Structure 1
Amino acid sequence: MVGIKGVFKNYNQKRVIDDVSLTIEKGKITSFIGPNGAGKSTLISMISRLITKDQGEITIDGKEVTETKSNDLAKKISILKQSNAINLRLTIRELVSFGRFPYSQGKLKKEDWDKVDEAIDYMELRDMQDRYLDELSGGQRQRAHIAMIIAQDTEYILLDEPLNNLDMRHSVQIMKTLRKLVDDLGKTIVIVIHDINFASCYSDQIVALKDGQIVKQGPTCDVIDECVLKDIYDMDMDIKTINDQRICVYFG
């Protein structure tokens, strides 16, 4: 369980996270939604300790993240940020193997390579695993980075807009893969996502943020609500139920 209590964060005297408290349950997909500048990426970065909080408490399984050794934290929680450029000429397989560093310290054993192979197969990258990253499309590189996170084999997975650069087919593939990681392997996934229909169809819990504060949090059915979404996005949305999924129509 991830516990967040009374967390604040300022940038250049501007408050971007304002007294946020929430609990992220184990074994579920929790999606952070909200407009640009809502604080979603900042919050997920503080959970992973990439950004330091100014005030408050963030715990993973009851232990404050700031008191956890870096290598121990890397075995517990993995994160993929929006900006994931690597300035090395690597193949997909070499990149994915980086996910095993917390365990192998660069000296991979058979069990490490088994995890690499599993992650490559999860993301349907087997046929191109020896291609270099600079030869790939943006979507292929994104899938390779997600495979690296899967190979890290942490209980908690944090993903900041993982559907960037992906077409519809691969976006669906990513979300189905995340659902499988939760349902089959018991992972806990926190995802920052802009497409509220993907959030609606694949999440167990949704946290809606605006101006650094939580507007609404809870089960998907409680947050995918016309009044709630109007408050978050300042626009009208019509919600339809299609195949038992709540779908937001906002093109009109």
Structure 2
Amino acid sequence: MIEVSGVSKSYGKTLVVDGVTLALPKGGLTSIIGPNGAGKSTLMSMIARLLPMDAGTVIVDGLDVTKVSGDVLAKRLSILRQDNHLTARLTVTDLVTFGRYPYSKGRPTLQDREHVERAIDYLGLGDFRHRFLDELSGGQRQRAFVAMVLCQDTDYMLFDEPLNNLDISHSVAMMKLMRKSARELGKTVVVVLHDINFASCYSDHIVVMRDGRLFLQGSPTDIVRQEVLSEIYATEFRVHELDGNRIATFY
């Protein structure tokens, strides 16, 4: 479990995350949603220790992320940020191998290479393993970054807006892959999303943030309701039942 207690972050006089306390359940896929500027990505970066907290604590399976060594945390929790662009010209295999760095320290063993091959195959990238990243489509490249995170073999995998720049087909494929990782591999997957319907259809748990605070959390059935969404986004919504999922439309 990831336990967030009283976490805050300011930039100058602007309070971006304001005393957030929540527990992210172990297992399954949790989506964090909310309007622009709600503090979603900032909160995720603090959970992963990419940003320092001004106040509060984050505990991952009993480990305080501000006190545990980087090597230990990197074997427990991994993250894919929005800005995952690289200037170096790398192949898919090169990129995915970075996921083994907490274990190999840049000298991958046979076991590390087996992890790399499994991650590449799991993400359906076998035909592209020797391709350079700049030779891939946006969807293929994004899958390669996900393979890198998967190859790190952590219990907790965090993804900050992984559907950015993906079309509908690739977005659906990406959500299916992340849910598959949670269910088949026993991972805990936490995803920052803008699309309410992707969160509704693929999540086991949804966290809603607004104005830097925790607004609400619960199952998709708890969250994807007309009155709740209308209050969160200040927009009139309708919610429909379709094949067992709740689908939101606005007008």
| TM-score band w.r.t. shorter chain | over 0.9
The residue correspondences of 1:170-249 to structure 2 (distance < 5 A) are 170-249=170-249
Cα-to-partner distance string for 1:190-214 (whole Å, 9 max, x where unaligned): 1000111110011111111111011
Indicate the SS of the match to 1:66.
coil
SS in 2 for 1:46: helix
Q: Partners in 1 of 2:193 and 2:54 — Cα distance?
A: 25
Q: What is the match of residue 146 of structure 2? A: 146
Q: Is 1:63 aligned to residue 71 of structure 2?
A: no
Q: Distance in 2 between matches of 1:190 and 1:233?
A: 21
Query: Alignment partner of 1:20: what SS?
Result: strand
The aligned counterpart of 1:23 is 23
Counterpart of 2:121 in structure 1: which amino acid? D
CA displacement, residues 89-144 of structure 1 (integer Å, 9 cap, x when unaligned):
10011101110110111111222111111111222111111111122233222111
Could you tell me how far apart the structure 2 residues matched to 1:124 and 1:165 are? Answer: 20
1:13 has 2:22 as partner = no
How far the C-alpha of 1:173 sits from its partner, in A, is 1.6
Q: Which amino acid aligns with 2:236?
A: D
Task: Tell me how far apart the structure 1 counterparts of residues 127 and 176 of structure 2 sit (CA, whole Å).
Answer: 20
- List gaps (5 residues or longer) in structure 1: none
- CA distance in 2: counterparts of 1:200 and 1:104, whole angstroms: 38
Deviations 1:133-192 (A, max 9, x none): 122233222111111101111000000011112222221221111111111121111100
Q: What is the aligned partner in structure 2 of residue 163 from structure 1?
A: 163
Secondary structure of the equivalent of 2:4? strand
Distance apart, 1:24 and its partner CA: 0.5
1:74 CA displacement: 0.6
**Partner residue, 2:96:** 96
TM, length-normalised to structure 1: 0.97
Aligned-pair RMSD on alpha carbons? 1.0
- Letter of the 2:75 partner, please give it: K
Structure-to-structure mapping, 1:78-93, within 5 angstroms:
78-93=78-93
Are 1:142 and 1:164, in contact at CA under 8 Å, matched by a contact in 2? no
**Cα pair 1:139 1:164 within 8 Å, conserved:** no
Q: For residue 114 of structure 2, what is the aligned residue in structure 1?
A: 114
Moved over 4 A (4+): none
- Is the Cα contact below 8 Å between 1:75 and 1:154 reproduced in 2? yes
Paired residue type of 1:234: A
Q: How far apart, CA to CA, are the structure 2 residues paired with 1:3 and 1:156?
A: 13
Give the letter aligned to residue 99 of structure 2: G
